[in-house]
Amino acid sequence: MNPPVKLLVIYVDETDTFESVPLYEAIVRRLQQFDIAGATAQTGVMGFGSHHRLHRKGLFGISDDRPVTISVVDSESKIREVLPEIRAMMKEGLVLLIDAELPS
């Protein structure tokens, strides 16, 4: 039986920044510094959040502030250790912590 894990899902906008760096990049790099087991940032084709403003790929493929999802997998203790730092980096966005299972 594999140990229990958590899935941390972070939703931000492609144009969000942290200290002049794209926020999604800053978050993934910070997770790597904490020796998190894995993280992936993916851009969305289209989406909206609590403000109900559509985010999508614009004319000629130029970004119109697309949504970015960062998926993180590790033990609950390691994720909870880094979570306050991640939240402090974000001005807005959504963070979910979900029970997950690594199948054998």
Q: Domain residue spans in the chain?
A: 5-100
Q: Domain 5-100 belongs to what topology?
A: Alpha-Beta Plaits (3.30.70)
Q: What is the pLDDT of residues 65-74, one digit of tens each?
A: 788 999 999 9
Mean pLDDT of 79-83: 97
Distances (CA, A) of 17 to 28, 32, 78, 83: 13, 18, 24, 18
**Count of positions (residues) in the chain:** 104
CA 4 to chain centre: 20
Residue 22 to residue 14: CA distance in whole angstroms = 7
As a whole-number percent, the residues of the chain with pLDDT over 70 amount to 90
Indicate the pTM of the whole model. 0.87
Mean pLDDT of 60-83: 87
